[in-house]
Every structure is written in C-alpha cells, then in structure tokens.
Amino acid sequence: MDALWMIVLTVGLLGSHCEGAISCKNENGVPVDWFILYKKPAGFDYVYIDSTNNELQKNNKPVNHQAGVLAHTLNPCFEKSPDSGFIAYNDQTPSCNALQEYGHSKGVVMMDKENVVWLLHSTPKFPNGDESNNFFPESGETKAQIFMCVTLKSTESAQIAQHLKDINAHIFKEHNPEKLKDSSKEQRKRPYHKDLSSAGGQKFTRFVKQISENGDCEEGDLYFYIADTLESNLYIQTWRSNPEDTDITDENQNLYNIVEVKAGGSKWEYRSDHSKWCVSDSKAWMCIGDSNREPSQFERPGGALCINSKHVANAFRTIKTEDSSMEPPLKKTLKRSSG
C-alpha cells in the first residue's frame, strides 16, 4: 500500500485512561491494561494472563468466540465508529502474501481520542473477516499462535507509528484513515530499542532489528539483539524446520530454542507451534516477536514488544518443558522455511 508510511497514529485529544475509551478486554468484555493469549494447536483453546492476574489461566470461551477476548477487544474494528480508527497489518493476508521487503509482522492498532490499543500476534490471515463471527481464520486452528495486547495512552501513539514504519509493516485493512496523520518522515537507523509505558504504567520495551543482506544470523537475528540488550540468556520459540539448526550461541549470551511446551493441560512440540516469543532465563522479561530464526527472516525487517513482568516471565519459563540446552550445542547450516 503506497500510503502506508503516510499513516501514523494521531496524538489527538490527550486524556486519561477512562471507562469509555477503547482498551484491551478480557472474556467478560471488561477493560484490562494488557493481556497475553497463547492459543494451543489443533483447536481454539488457549491459556491467558493479563494485568489482573499473575498466572496463565485456561479459557472459558474459544479464541474465535464472538463474545470472547479477541472479539471484545476488536469491537472497534467491527463497529467502525466515526469516533475511532484502526489499521490491520499482516504479511500473510486472506488474499495474498506480501513481498519479502515487508516484515513478517502481524498486528492490529486501534485508536480513539483517549487511547491506542496495540494487538501483536502471529496468526496469518488475521483478522479474516470484519464481523465478530468471522474474524478468526479457519487456517489458524492448526498451529499454536500467540497474541499480546497493550492499552496505551495517546501520547505513545507516535512510538507505535515509528515502529510500524521501521519494521515495514504491510497494512491491508484500515478505517477512518483521516484520523491518522504523519508525524515522522524517515525510518530510524536499525537496530534500536525504546521503552514505552501502558496506560496503567506497565513497562514495555520495543525492539527493531537489523537487516542482514546475506542472511548473517549474528546481524539479522532479532533474538541476538534482544539477548544482548537485556544482557540475558533467552529461551526462544519460533517457527523453524529443526530447532538445532538455529541453536547458535551469542558471543555474550546463550540462546536456546524451545522444543516442547506444556500449558493448560496440553503438551505440544515446536512443529505444531507458529508462535514467536522468548523469555529470559532469569530476568523479568518476556517478548512477543515477529521474526523466525531462519535466514530468510534475517534478511527482512522485524521487531518485538517485551514486557517487564516477573509474573509473565515466570509463567512462560514454567511452560517451557524442553529446550535445546539439553543437547550438545550444534552449529549447522541454517535452513530456509516459511511460517
């Protein structure tokens, strides 16, 4: 879309986080400051943690329910109110796949006069339709997928706009683009990271990675950059053909690929998981990324949003039941794959 980088979230009328403003929502439609939803493979069940609880909990309604977490949160997209606007970005849209020059990024950004809601995820073709009963694609049932939603004050909107520009997000849906205006003409030099705060004061950090022209993992691997910045070893879940193929150790930190996850009474291995996330082995950081640990991804723009929460980090360290640190380190030629 040629007009992509003319779209930036407007600061609009500044105000506090209030009941009438858009927000991330829980299963009951109640506003929450943030949530993380991890859908299991082979179905629509999931585990969930938000700003009001400290542990991953099982769902009561399936992820595609028209009165569930995602449907409640995406209601501004369904209503298309004249008082709100949204953009949806995805390099794998319901009709086509975007060119490699775009990031492998997926998300929805909604805004009104008070708040901005940023929903990052890993699901191709999402949102599929424009109604509460058809927004979740049937293809999303097969693999595990992850969603992170954060409610921000409108003062943070320029940061989101800059992030979308720097990861070259592929926008395929929008509403009320006149509510969105350009406040930044140029991409920032990659890589970089910058802190931001939710409407409720929760600390987050967003990362934008470097692009490697020759598929060099040390330059183009998003998780190398996160590990170095956080000064922490990482456990990493991304789509890949073989976990050992990208079990590469940073000069300063160890990066381990997750092989198996156990959550909400279910257990699955990496071949069934399309999500992209990582967690520190000892610090209070958990991140939702948009890039896989594959050479084709090292050559594309991308980024991540990380939450600084000991409860979230502990929860995701706990569900990792097996990782590549249990095997001798291998350094093989990286294989290309999609996902």
* The pLDDT value given to residue 177: 63
Task: Report the 3 state secondary structure along 139-197.
Answer: HHHCCEEEEEEEEEEHHHHHHHHHHHHHCCCCEEEEECHHHECCCCCCCCCCCEEEEEE
Q: Are 195 and 150 in contact (CB under 8 A)?
A: no
* The pLDDT value given to residue 158: 87
Q: Is 36 or 100 the better-scoring residue by pLDDT?
A: 36
* The pLDDT value given to residue 19: 47
Rounded mean pLDDT, 60-84: 96
pTM to 2 decimals? 0.91
Question: pLDDT averaged over the chain?
Answer: 88
Rounded mean pLDDT, 12-31: 70
* The pLDDT value given to residue 326: 62
* The pLDDT value given to residue 218: 83
Digit-coded pLDDT (tens) for 266-285? 999 999 999 999 999 999 99
Digit-coded pLDDT (tens) for 98-155? 999 999 999 999 999 999 999 999 999 999 999 999 999 999 999 999 999 999 998 8
* DSSP per-residue string spanning 288-303: EES--SSHHHHTS--E
Q: Report residue 325's pLDDT band, with 50, 70 and 90 as the boundaries.
A: confident
* The pLDDT value given to residue 273: 97
Mean pLDDT check: name the lowest of 51-55, 99-103, 180-184, 213-217: 180-184
DSSP 92: B
Residue 70 predicted with pLDDT over 70 = yes
Rounded mean pLDDT, 209-225: 91
Percent of the chain with pLDDT over 90: 75
Q: Report residue 239's pLDDT band, with 50, 70 and 90 as the boundaries.
A: confident
In whole angstroms, give the CA distance from residue 339 to residue 240: 8
* The pLDDT value given to residue 8: 45
Element (H, E) at 206: strand 203-208
* The pLDDT value given to residue 186: 76
Q: Are 167 and 208 in contact (CB under 8 A)?
A: yes
What is the chain's alpha carbon radius of gyration, rounded to the nearest angstrom? 18
Residue 336 predicted with pLDDT over 50 = no
Cα three-residue angle 98-151-169, rounded to 5 degrees: 15
In whole angstroms, give the CA distance from residue 201 to residue 197: 5
* The pLDDT value given to residue 249: 62
Exposure on the CB side of residue 220, measured as CA atoms within 13 A:
21
* The pLDDT value given to residue 184: 63
CA distances from 152 to 14, 18, 22 (A): 11, 11, 10
Residue 227 predicted with pLDDT over 50 = yes
Q: Are 234 and 221 in contact (CB under 8 A)?
A: no
In whole angstroms, give the CA distance from residue 163 to residue 156: 11
Q: Are 135 and 108 in contact (CB under 8 A)?
A: no
In whole angstroms, give the CA distance from residue 308 to residue 70: 23
Rounded mean pLDDT, 10-32: 69
Rounded mean pLDDT, 37-63: 97
Q: Are 236 and 255 in contact (CB under 8 A)?
A: yes
Rounded mean pLDDT, 290-311: 95
Element (H, E) at 35: strand 34-39
Closest of 143, 125, 149, 142 to residue 68, by C-alpha: 149
Percent of the chain with pLDDT over 70: 84
Amino acid (one-letter) located at 283:
K
* The pLDDT value given to residue 295: 85
Question: What is the length of the chain?
Answer: 339
Rounded mean pLDDT, 180-197: 81
